[in-house]
Amino acid sequence: MKIILTQQIPSIATELLKKAGHSVEVLSKNGPLSHSELEKKVVGADAIVSALTDKIDGEIMDSIGKQLKIIANYAVGFDNIDVKEAKKRNIIVTNTPGVLTESVAEHSVALMFAVAKRIVESDTFVRAGDYKHWMPTGFIGQQLWDKTIGIVGLGRIGSMLAEICYRGLRMRVLYNDMKHDERLEMELGAEYHLLPTLLERADVVSINVPLVPSTRHLISAKELRLMKKTAILINTSRGPVIDEKSLVSALKEGEIAGAGLDVYENEPELTPGLAKLANVVLTPHTASATLEARTAMATIVATNVIEALKGNTPPNSVDVQK
Ligand code: GLV
Ligand code: GLV
């Protein structure tokens, strides 16, 4: 059968798909296609392997055709796919959970340290040749040991982050989620709090919720004002969870101390002023970009496609999220 990958992903995916006897076409090796280009080029596929930058809506599904059985997203998040429209057409949607948990949690920690210890600012300073003498009060940052982390969204990634912070840095763990996690409350002493209380008490706030209607602009001007002036905000989930304009103002006004962002509200565009701030560290949506995670994601994507095309329920099918 015919499988279209909207973008090049690690070659293990194509190898597995070809081994299973399918024909494979890769549409782009250099960045995402526009919606209209995509509409033209996906026609006739039995399976689509999409990237998080592809907006797969009902229109695209109709252009592909009635033979389409599965949309396999090469990501754990699947807010780029209209799952409701897929369901109406009996198309399976899958994601790649589990295998990028560690990498994304590590990236949250990396951003947390980079902001707290002012790593990027200091690196720029040294490269510019400005390091002339040791400075008794230069580049003063924050220690993370024994501080409090507030995790918004205690799913797989949020839980892994809680473990790293508790076991590695003896941080107190506060969390907010739709449900309580008794295991982490017991093992890590994690405390459930409503969002306002979590924001008021945490030294580091990490966003780990999926993007769904109820999490869009979950962190806006009002929430940022609740945070400590010394607090650091980390986001490795989806940009629109934070109102980026309000974040830029909060960072400028010193309402919070800093931010570490891997995702942006209008990715890849940045809110004007964001890139000028010294107290932010910005990465290009690379939290899952480790050899380990991306290879495993490619393997999972191929498995989901192969199973679906055999008529089986693939291991990672997803449903509409609220
Ligand atoms: C990356 O953002 C993913 O959802 O896998
Ligand atoms: C995503 O993998 C999550 O559940 O955090």
C-beta 52 within 6 A of ligand 1: yes
pLDDT in tens, 261-306: 999 999 999 999 999 999 999 999 999 999 999 999 999 999 999 9
What value does the mean pLDDT take over residues 129-152? 97
Q: Which residues are catalytic?
A: 238, 267, 285
Domains along the sequence of the chain with CATH: 2-97+291-309 (3.40.50.720), 101-282 (3.40.50.720)
Residue type at 55 in one-letter notation: K
Longest alpha-carbon distance in the chain: 69
Q: What is the tens place of the pLDDT at every residue in 100-119?
A: 999 999 999 999 999 999 99
Return the closest-CA partner of residue 56 out of 24, 89, 26, 30: 89
pTM: 0.96
Give 28's DSSP letter.
-
The 10s digit of each residue's pLDDT in 164-208 is 999 999 999 999 999 999 999 999 999 999 999 999 999 999 999
* Ligand showing the shortest atom-to-Cα distance for residue 101: 2
Q: Is the dihedral of CA 160, 236, 29, 318 positive or negative?
A: positive
Instruction: Check if 61 has its Cβ closer than 6 Å to any atom of ligand 2.
Output: no
Burial call 2-23: b when 16+ CB within 10 Å, e when fewer? ebbbbbebbebbbebbeebebe
Looking at residue 89, its pLDDT comes to: 98
- Give the pLDDT confidence of 21-31 residue by residue, as tens digits: 999 999 999 99
